[in-house]
Amino acid sequence: MIITKKALPRRTFLKGAQATLALPLLDAMIPAATALEKTPAKPVPRLGFVFIPMGCDHSRWTPQDAPELGELSPILSPLEPVKDDLIVFTNFELKNAYPGTHSTSNAAFLSAAFAKHTESSDYHLGTTVDQHAARQLGKETQLPSLELSMDLLQTVGQCNNGYACVYQNNLSWSSPTTPLPSEAHPRTVFERLFGEGGSVDERRAALRERASLLDWVREDITRLKMKLGKADRVRVDNYLTSIREVERRIQRAEAGAADNPLPDLDRPTGVPAAYADHARLMFDLQLLALQGDITRVVTFQLARELSGRTYPEVGVPDPHHPLSHHGNDPEKVEKISRINKFHVSLFAEYVEKLKATADGDGSLLDHTVLLYGSGMGNPSTHDHDNLPILVAGGAACGVRGGRHVKYEQGTPLANLHLTLLDRVGVYLDAFGDSNGKVEDLFDAVPV
């Protein structure tokens, strides 16, 4: 790579054999005339969605205070350190998810569309909100969007009440007939972000042969840092340290799986054995992808609807889906709340890391709008009313946190999707079953 006295392009990469390393936003990427004015590099908006299955225990989710967000509810309490960056919503609904199934809960969450009732390949839904964003925000990035999940096996055929499994497997749809498969294997995601050239098998072989991605771009890193100011050198060092740590954790997981003599049909080599470790690694890969501007749009499915996953880490050995049919049994409801809080705690760690990551004149959280929630309200009744929904981050996009917005009656979740698109500079007249926007909840000037 050749470094000149001109500003670095925002799309600057360090390249090694079979690998490309994107750089985070640096002050050196702004024009020289602007740099003389000590103006930080202008960041770009990002948009992320995190899905949880099978609704929540409303009694422990819903905050008591409104409109200001006072004491957080038990389930949301892990988010206390970033409370001022949160908006919690009550009474959003997905009318197009009815007649009320697990499949339509997953399918409607980002589409707000009606899923065609079919068990075959003639499925039909709608273009999801993330893909509308990707068409605009992804024009200048390596990946238009990144679709991630925690479930390694894709089920096929008919999954629930005569609905094809495709509705549960995929959050993102680039058209009404084109679902986008998600990836749950950390090594594969890492290769997608930083590998270059050859087939998947060739890239995997190349990655196994080297000690680290960073070893292949070491000389370029050294030359680059000699041309950067102190603040940019710190940003680069922090970014490279994060990449090295993710690599180390993937390698440790691979070594652990290789040493395990027992067969493992559900967890391919390289996936951490513990759910929390796997989720943290997937969240860290998202952070790297956003920080390096490899993509600006991410979706993440923390678990699929109908998931039979157990959570012994938090004292819940029962499978999630059967437990969700709690019938108001206090013991089952309490266990659901533990699962809800566990998921929130993992998301909270991610939000805190975004807040601690510098980006231009603020943090990565300031320039990233995150929507977290479910397409189901009360799982015991399979309803799609009063959905557990919150928004985090986005201060630079006009999102004002520290609030609990409680609607008196059901309001289309599509209204929020439409407004968040506006916040990141993607403008649509309508989306799904929207009947307006929620602009009064945000600062007047969007990105």
C-alpha 390/C-alpha 388 separation (Å) is 7
Q: Is the dihedral of CA 47, 50, 55, 60 positive or negative?
A: negative
Would you give the distance in Å from CA 207 to the centre of its chain?
Answer: 25
| Out of 125-134, 167-176, 254-263, 322-331, least confident range | 254-263
pTM for the model stands at: 0.83
Tens of pLDDT, residue by residue over 207-253, are 555 556 666 666 677 777 777 777 788 777 777 777 777 777 777 66
Which residue has tokens 């180390």? 248
Q: Identify each DSSP E strand in 2-45 by its residue range.
A: 13-16, 19-22
CATH code of 46-184+278-283+296-441, in short, is 3.40.720
AA identity, residue 214: L
Q: How is the chain split into domains, by residue range?
A: 6-42+188-270, 46-184+278-283+296-441
Q: What pLDDT is stored for residue 34 in this prediction?
A: 46
Which residues have C-beta within 8 Å of that of residue 392, sequence separation ≥ 6? 79, 82, 85, 86, 87, 347, 351, 365, 369, 370, 372, 401
C-alpha 16/C-alpha 35 separation (Å) is 29
Q: What pLDDT is stored for residue 447 in this prediction?
A: 42
Q: What pLDDT is stored for residue 7 in this prediction?
A: 58
DSSP 359-370: ETTEETTTTEEE
